[in-house]
Structure 1
């Protein structure tokens, strides 16, 4: 298969996935009693579009399923058949079968294991049951299921349909352009208003609305010019190059320190302009990778529906902040943890309808998911109104496993036990829970991207889980500080102010070696970076030293450092991939002089102070 056709196939698979995601979202929001006509039309167009382009590539099984699906959907939207609850279940199963077929075609594997025949017969059965007069006989031809009165010729598009995009209605084969041919359009399908996360990223701007007199070809051209599909690998390469440019700019700024500004004025003007241009380029490139968290959230209505049905529970999902944007790399790492958490909320948290009624609650439980910006981080919250975590059961399970615990542990420490490897309070192992690996994976995935996860719970009221994540995994603005002649980076988003400590500001805690400082009548704990990182040298006297006031997770504290070096934009490098994980450190960066500076995990510092200084080799 030549490269031209491979390129077209790649676009086909991406757009097919987008249509399947759109179809699923619309199905889950349909009102059975009064279905929205626009939603029905959207579902029909998704199936219609996939069918049209799959037939051009000879994907017969895919065409067979979408043909029967399209027939049933067309009867529903035209009012010939009344929408039934069982149809939604079958439609969703058909969507899963179509996704399996796409995977098989993409990997060029055999489609025998995909239940194409079974789902097509179920769809045709619904047509026969609710509209016997219009039913058609379905036979197995060996290639998939084909209707005996149809050879799957492309149908005339509905009045509100566009052409298929890349291929017009009269195209008979999907062939790559020969030399000298006009380049085809990028898209296959007629519906591009909804896009889902796929293996490629798309940068899209609103297409201009064509005038009623505009020809279809002109309108398509206008729409095509508004977006372009770019592979993730190319975007990652571009971001890496921008990161190297930031490091180079920092090196030039470092070298310029030995120059006399009065004698080299033009050089300093050029460096200032380079700094400005580099920052603008970095922000523009980073925005390409920023995606709304709806790319994750949109899959959870289906997860909640399927899990609740399997457990015989009634659960409503409430989503907030779907348009909150974060880095695509963070999104990819967040999908599995959120799936584990939501399933656990339904399985362990939400009670059965009978239990909820007995507890004075409504039969239907609620799971809430929200996302929002807080400083330079993204906060994702998942909560339920179930029975909450059982402190007694968790402690009993911990004792059974020989963990070092005590009865007077704080609730927040008890809840953290559920993240231990192999820890589970489930009475039996099911395909949903009980093996003790889910929550362990959750914390590992979250911490691997510089995030943290916290739990609060109240018996009978439910559980609230908060995940804090970095906005991006590439570049941040930081304050460079020096401790024991080593540079560290403090993210600017955590800094409230800095000051030189005076004697009247410092207070000692009775019976403790800890100290607090008074800043505008507010008492803040004073932490020393020397002690937190277990450095070999003693911290200098606090009085007369530099203190940075920091805010993390709603708490404010003071951090003593030796010196403030200056503000700088730094490129984040993973410490775990290149060395190993260090408590209190979230990453590393390369400074302008070529040295390595460690990026502080501000959220973790108060926790380290409470646990005692960590030990590092």
Structure 2
């Protein structure tokens, strides 16, 4: 039972991959991709899901997949044109197919009315018009049993008891992809043998020299003469799951014959003669002779039975030759072109355990370095040299382990097209989703927590951002709205953007609603950026009524909290009449980071290295006051806000002397630069991130914590939060001056 459960789990994992491939293919066809291989890939995805589901008796899934597969077969054969309406139906059918898979995996049921409606629509796509009649397959046909006397048909029954025997000639040539997918030729031939009497001839003429042999290649082909009472469909069923990975040709005699009509011994003798002729024709190319290969061939000819080739022995000998020390492929050959890289499935708990152990290794390595430094050992000593090597090795191990957890954001992006279709249908809008950067990699933990924020933003972009088709047409825009979802790496972080080409933010309405809800003062003077950020306040909503999509005021504030919990930031830019863009910046990993260790008012802090542009020593001529205690520093003829980190974190009540401190020029979201004032820099090191909220509580201006080499806990600075807090303090001071004036 455990083995079957594991196999079933693997099946569902493969279903997710097939569904992803199915969606990619359908969207490509919708965008005008008429490549036959794209259509074949979509057909194979549905076919594979149906075949695997049948092995586990998932009848509902098999039935719907069969109807879907039939419609795809019409498309593949060119009998059905890939029109917009056809693909729209198939995309909806794909969603229902995904529901069947998840219901079979997690329990539950699928909306029967919806699935039956989609099945009827798929049948209606039959270009011959015969699909409508197949609806009778779903209905029970009532009948009354009738008692009949069968004695009059005894002669006919006896005549029919002996089915005719037919001779089939099967030519089977596997491709390299057949073996790459863990299929075995011997098992296929064994299944053919169960259908009747057979004789096999192996064609080895395509075998290269042993020095050029690719262990993963496909060189052999077989000709099979099969005497069977089965039809051609039964033979093709054996090759059902490998038919795209082999060349297969099946010929049948025109007339049926009884078993005694064919001389099996004569047939085998004929096949033996064919095999002997093929073996005698094998010889090395005339322009090049490999002595080792020639000797191996002669030995094989001397020991081989001139009759039917023993398939198992041939495969075994081929494997032994491929792994010989002196018969391996040349260094510059490698695997066959196009062969996929081998992969393994590993339980995520094991990877998490490995990540934690690497984190502890980093901490212990830092502690060891601290002890060596405290002992006063010279850098040139053997202990210090070994410690440097350990540090380098630890970094490489950490990078390799983090690469294991890194996954492309494609797994999250692939969920969005269905969401777009559903929300567009609910709002009556025409929407097209464009994705970019799907292969951008990020830590799996980050990916798992991205789904909900992205879902909120996509729904918000369609419901609030895009106009109705009529409004877009009146504004001179295409009736179909565009939502763009992209991901890229920038400065050691991942940046995800969700943009639309809608009407943009109506700032006057946003401010009016915020004031009516008591979120801001009615006479508050706000910049465009501050008004845009009002949508992130809890309880804020511009929806006129509550619906299934929005209106409850629990959307964008949830998004901001989710992003902040990941150590990220979200910002918004909007242009009236041209749309809005939401930008999320997230760390690539939640496990480790490279940081600058600094001291502030006697406290040790870590500043993420990715945020630091440069460090500098302030000079008295470069520092200027800016009212309300704010200061700026001149850096290459540009004035940059100077922020005292100790003052912002309430470590001290007065501003520090900038001449006795060090300034860190940092860049926050939106490219805004600021200078953080710290007392001193202790050094640069890699630290393990520990959640502060999970172990203590949220602290403003602090992103997380870490353990230093001496065992002390150091706080990791949230650069964006400190900069935003400083700007808010300056704005509040200016507002108070304006009010007093």
TM-score range, shorter chain: 0.7 to 0.9
- Closer, same or farther: CA 574–297 of 1 in aligned 2, 3 Å: same
**1:130 Cα offset (Å):** 4.1
Q: Within 5 Å, which residues of 2 pair with 1:92-241?
A: 92-107=91-106, 109=107, 111=109, 118=116, 121-122=119-120, 125-126=123-124, 130-132=128-130, 136=134, 138-140=136-138, 162=178, 165=181, 211-213=217-219, 226-241=342-357
TM-score by length of 2: 0.70
588, 597, 600: which one pairs with 2:705? 588
2:296 is equivalent to residue 298 of structure 1: no
- SS of the residue aligned with 1:257? helix
- SS of the residue aligned with 2:346? strand
- Which moves more between the two structures, 46-55 or 93-102? 93-102
2:559 is equivalent to residue 436 of structure 1: no
- Closer, same or farther: CA 262–422 of 1 in aligned 2, 3 Å: closer
CA distance in 1, matches of 2:82, 2:681: 67
Does the Cα contact within 8 Å between 1:127 and 1:135 map onto a contact in 2?
Answer: no
Does the Cα contact within 8 Å between 2:30 and 2:82 map onto a contact in 1?
Answer: no
502, 509, 522: which one pairs with 2:638? 522
- SS of the residue aligned with 1:229? coil
CA distance in 2, matches of 1:609, 1:74: 63
- SS of the residue aligned with 1:360? coil
CA distance in 2, matches of 1:449, 1:563: 28
432, 448, 465: which one pairs with 2:582? 465
- After superposition, the C-alpha distances for 1:152-177 in whole angstroms (9 at most, x for unaligned) are xxxx99999959956779989xxxxx
- SS of the residue aligned with 2:693? helix
Consecutive unaligned residues in structure 2, runs of 5 or more = 141-170, 189-213, 222-244, 247-314, 323-334, 731-741
Which structure has the bigger radius of gyration?
A: 2
Determine the structure 2 residue equivalent to 1:268.
384
- After superposition, the C-alpha distances for 1:60-87 in whole angstroms (9 at most, x for unaligned) are 2222222222222122211233344443
CA distance in 1, matches of 2:463, 2:172: 45
- After superposition, the C-alpha distances for 1:348-379 in whole angstroms (9 at most, x for unaligned) are 11112221222222323222222222212221
CA distance in 2, matches of 1:141, 1:360: 51
- SS of the residue aligned with 2:690? coil
- SS of the residue aligned with 1:235? helix
**1:308 Cα offset (Å):** 2.5
Determine the structure 2 residue equivalent to 1:204.
none
- SS of the residue aligned with 2:621? helix
- Which moves more between the two structures, 278-287 or 423-432? 423-432
- After superposition, the C-alpha distances for 1:253-288 in whole angstroms (9 at most, x for unaligned) are 111112233498221122111100000000011111
Q: Within 5 Å, which residues of 2 pair with 1:32-431?
A: 35-107=34-106, 109=107, 111=109, 118=116, 121-122=119-120, 125-126=123-124, 130-132=128-130, 136=134, 138-140=136-138, 162=178, 165=181, 211-213=217-219, 226-262=342-378, 265-405=381-521, 406-431=523-548
Does the Cα contact within 8 Å between 2:569 and 2:586 map onto a contact in 1?
Answer: yes
- Closer, same or farther: CA 34–7 of 1 in aligned 2, 3 Å: closer
CA distance in 2, matches of 1:474, 1:429: 40
- After superposition, the C-alpha distances for 1:522-556 in whole angstroms (9 at most, x for unaligned) are 32221111111012464542223222222222122
Structure with the higher helix share, 1 or 2: 2
Determine the structure 1 residue equivalent to 2:10.
11
2:564 is equivalent to residue 447 of structure 1: yes
**1:598 Cα offset (Å):** 0.6
- Which moves more between the two structures, 21-30 or 478-487? 21-30
- After superposition, the C-alpha distances for 1:43-102 in whole angstroms (9 at most, x for unaligned) are 110011111222122222222222222222122211233344443343333323332332
Determine the structure 2 residue equivalent to 1:550.
666
**1:39 Cα offset (Å):** 1.6
- Which moves more between the two structures, 253-262 or 297-306? 297-306
CA distance in 2, matches of 1:410, 1:572: 36
- Closer, same or farther: CA 432–167 of 1 in aligned 2, 3 Å: farther
TM-score by length of 1: 0.83
- Closer, same or farther: CA 38–484 of 1 in aligned 2, 3 Å: same
Does the Cα contact within 8 Å between 1:97 and 1:115 map onto a contact in 2?
Answer: no
How many pairs are equivalent?
A: 562
- Closer, same or farther: CA 442–323 of 1 in aligned 2, 3 Å: same
**1:245 Cα offset (Å):** 0.7
CA distance in 1, matches of 2:563, 2:346: 28
CA distance in 1, matches of 2:135, 2:434: 42
Consecutive unaligned residues in structure 1, runs of 5 or more = 143-155, 173-207
- SS of the residue aligned with 2:483? strand
- Closer, same or farther: CA 137–388 of 1 in aligned 2, 3 Å: closer
Larger RCO, structure (CA 8 Å, separation 6 or more): 1
- Closer, same or farther: CA 169–483 of 1 in aligned 2, 3 Å: same
- Which moves more between the two structures, 159-168 or 431-440? 159-168
Does the Cα contact within 8 Å between 2:408 and 2:439 map onto a contact in 1?
Answer: yes
**1:135 Cα offset (Å):** 6.5
Aligned-pair RMSD on alpha carbons?
A: 3.3
CA distance in 2, matches of 1:476, 1:588: 11
Does the Cα contact within 8 Å between 1:117 and 1:140 map onto a contact in 2?
Answer: no
Determine the structure 1 residue equivalent to 2:267.
none
CA distance in 2, matches of 1:353, 1:116: 26
2:679 is equivalent to residue 562 of structure 1: yes
